Amino acid sequence: MTAESKLAPIRKGLLEFLVLKIVGVKSVYVPDILRQLAGTEFTTQEGTLYPLLSKLRREDLVQYEWKESDAGPPRKYYRLTDTGRAQLAALDEYWTLINRTIANFGH
Amino acid sequence: MQRLATTVRLNRSVLQFDDAANARLEQYLAESASLLEADPDPQEILADLEQAVADQCTRRLRPEQTVVTLAELEPALEEIGSVQTPGTGPASSGQPRAAAPRVLQQVSEGAVISGVCTGLGRYFGFNVTALRVFAVLLLLLSGGGVILVYFTLMLLMPFAPLAADGQPLGWLPGKCRAFMEYLRAKFHLAAG
């Protein structure tokens, strides 16, 4: 197994965490999220993001509201729910913890 | 020669597609639907994807251009990418998922009668409109025998879960669904 094939599932798992972080800053619509992720290791596409957001909404972590746009049809703006905010805080904390643990080994 | 375009409603947008682009679009949406078969909310995601396609194509149209061709659609689909369902656990993450098992279900949303044709179309990857026309032809040719077949399928095919965003069902699909559920409950018929 190459390193890349081991990294892919890690990225995939972390994408949800990252999306929660982005949505947690301010309410955004999908092109905003794509733009923020573009050029990072987590560059992704609408085909991936919509199913993920649908799952997060089902888990009551995010919710959306329709907002009119200057051009075209109304857009879905996503934001965190209280449950989402709590879960994001827990993930953030755990992530810091893991990073510390990993950094402490192998010396 | 005049090339006729198809008017397509994509979620909240209406666009014109030429034949090739229309066929490609239908293929993409059918593929997405089959990839989302295991998802609890396929309708919502499909509506989002339709809107994404509409937005991406609109963005790519030249100022005077009104009909979407493959030249706009292909790069649009490329950018949207195929449907990736979020991994539910370590076992499924990362690995390319085997195609989700196809299930034969009646689809109440957008149904004319009960959604049998929509369901069959999705399952076998046929164009639903073509299938409906074929069913009507068969109805005329068979002298009504198709009605029995339709009713049997209505009774036996399970109903796909309703869309989460609660788009209202048509009157007839709603009645059919309710009636079949009533019949199944009464005769303890477990569909599926």
Contact (Cβ atoms closer than 8 angstroms) between residue B174 and residue B52: no
Predicted confidence (pLDDT) per residue in B3-60, tens digit: 678 899 998 889 999 999 999 999 999 999 999 988 888 999 999 999 999 999 999 9
Q: Report pTM.
A: 0.61
Taking CA atoms, A70 is separated from A73, A74, A75, A85, A90, in Å, by 9, 9, 10, 30, 37
Q: What is the DSSP secondary-structure string of B65-132? A: --EE-HHHHHHHHHHH----PPPSSTTTSSSPPPPPPP---B--TT-SSSSHHHHHHHHHT--HHHHH
Q: Helix or strand or coil: residue B58? A: helix
Q: Are strands B13-17 and B67-68 parallel, antiparallel or unpaired?
A: parallel
Q: Which residue is it, tokens 């893991």?
A: A98
What pLDDT is attached to residue B90?
37
Residue B39 per-residue DSSP state: S
Which chain B residue shows the shortest CA-CA distance from A11?
B94
Which chain A residue shows the shortest CA-CA distance from B39?
A51
Predicted confidence (pLDDT) per residue in B85-106, tens digit: 886 433 333 444 445 557 888 8
Q: Which residue is it, tokens 């005769």?
A: B187
- A3 at the B interface (CB within 8 A)? no
Task: Give the distance from residue A45's alpha carbon to the nearest chain B alpha carbon, in angstroms.
Answer: 5
- A67 at the B interface (CB within 8 A)? no
Taking only the tens of pLDDT, chain A with its 107 residues reads: 788 888 888 898 899 999 999 999 999 999 999 999 998 999 999 999 999 999 999 999 999 999 988 877 889 999 999 999 999 999 999 999 999 999 998 76
Instruction: Report CB contact under 8 Å: A50, B49.
Output: yes
A and B: number of Cβ contacts within 8 A: 71
Most A-contacting residue of B9, B34, B41, B58 (CB-CB within 10 A), to test interface = B41
Domain map (residue ranges) of chain B: 6-80, 116-186
Please give the domain boundaries of chain A with CATH numbers for all domains: 22-104 (1.10.10.10)
